[in-house]
Amino acid sequence: MAFSVSTAKVDITPTLSTNPYMAGYGTVDGGRIATSSTPYQPLYARAIVLWDDIWPNLILTADILGFPRAMHQRIRSRILALAGWQSSDILLQATHTHNGPTLIDSLQPHISYGLSDLMLIRDYTAALEDKIVALAQTALAAQRTAVTLDYKVASQNFAVNRVGLPYTETAVPVLVARRSTGVPRAVIFSYGCHPVSAGLRTLFDGDFPAAACNYVENQTAGCFALFLQGAAGDQDPIGARGWALRDQQGNALGATVTSAITGVGRTVTGPVVTMYQEVQLPLDISLSPANLVNVRSAFVARLGNPAGQPPWYQRHAQGMIARIDSNSLPTSVPSPFQVWKLSGSPQLKIAMIGGELVSGYAAYFRAGQGGANGLIMGGYANELCCYIPSNEFLPPYMPFGSYEGGWDPDFPGIAGGSMTIYGYPAHFKGGSNGVEATVINAMNAMLG
């Protein structure tokens, strides 16, 4: 099997007239609004098509918080029509910058940001969808460069586990596509850390992943750089947040990658085997009439804000009462699971899960696949459903609740924490038949 690559990228930065609303931090009311149409650094969508002989495989990333479910489904369907490929050959991922644009439905703009007029957000979301599809088409049509693939694992240490669990992401997987001369034509690299180094700002920006891509491309002539977000759900950057930290950590990651690609890693070959499925993650809720009476009562009590929670808790409660009254409560959350397998010694696997995957999963799956040398593991893939916690984030393991686990101890029977902004009525089910077991069983079956 012979490899070639084709690449493309497009600027997706909004202007103040097209969509000034920024995503990533909850607000009291009215959303966070950009103060200039000039970003700190432009937001990009980037695409690499890895051709396995004549067969295309697409990795496309965007400097956004996450792809909403409906948007992802439309994009996937439209991209699927562009070439003779399977759905599993198409991998979308958000870098999860917290200084990107607000989109329709992820996070829900009214609950998260108190927005009521969604016209600009809706129009920008539709235009972004068109740009993403056009980018895939451009990458497919772009000139192909014959390459060989090699892989190595570098390291970085600016991520810390923000809840004190013993998992800290240090691995920086680096997959390089080289011309026949050995010069890098493209590099795909990863790291697991929330892109919040810049903190809450009023300029659009892709945070440290964008800075790292920029560094690699500036230091390596003719090389296209693409960042894959790792299992960053509980990983935050260390340091005082601001533009200086964003630049420092982005450049440090970029320098790590640039140094890694100066020497050839272990050989990776074809064929590329791809798999994709949607997994239903179970919520801890019963739709029995008696339980729904109790759940509704708890949401009504939350409207009075007895615990002094942020205002989106009350907006969420209003939404959940409406869903109970219309008999439209979900009992599970769909999450896309995707695996790519490439040959080599050992085999290299890329495993991606939709949602904010916590780092304990990466540690678990890498342990069964020869470490980071055999597995690139990430979240935020294809669509952003919610946090994907392990049992460690759920009752009874965290008695005071957890944001990542989506629950609070004042009302443990209904959604709290992150599940209030993602718009679900409850946290995930824990225990032996809950979310952790479902994730592990489904992904282990795919990894084989």
Residue 366 has pLDDT above 80, yes or no: yes
Structure pTM?
0.97
pLDDT value at residue 27: 73
Whether a cis peptide bond, with omega within 30° of 0, leads into 348 is no
123, containing H or E segment = helix 119-141
**204-232 pLDDT tens trace:** 999 999 999 999 999 999 999 999 999 99
pLDDT value at residue 105: 87
**177-197 pLDDT tens trace:** 999 999 999 999 999 999 999
pLDDT value at residue 30: 82
Contact 179, 145 (CB under 8 A): yes
Residue 267's φ and ψ, nearest 5 degrees, are -70, 135
Residue 306 has pLDDT above 80, yes or no: yes
pLDDT value at residue 169: 98
pLDDT value at residue 12: 98
**23-52 pLDDT tens trace:** 998 777 788 999 999 999 999 999 999 999
In this structure, the chain runs to a length of 448
pLDDT value at residue 107: 81
Average pLDDT value for the chain = 97
| 357-367 average pLDDT score | 98
Structure tokens at 362: 């990466």
d(CA 96, CA 226) in angstroms, rounded, equals: 14
d(CA 387, CA 277) in angstroms, rounded, equals: 18
**391-403 pLDDT tens trace:** 999 999 999 999 9
**Band (387; pLDDT cuts 50, 70, 90):** very high
**245-285 pLDDT tens trace:** 999 999 999 999 999 999 999 999 999 999 999 999 999 99
DSSP state of 65: S
Whole-Å CA distances, 194 to 104, 172, 375, 426: 22, 14, 20, 24
| 401-430 average pLDDT score | 95
At 67 the three-state DSSP class reads coil
State the pairing for strand pair 387-388/375-378.
Answer: unpaired
pLDDT value at residue 3: 98
Whether a cis peptide bond, with omega within 30° of 0, leads into 282 is no
Whole-Å CA distances, 91 to 312, 345, 378, 401: 32, 24, 12, 33
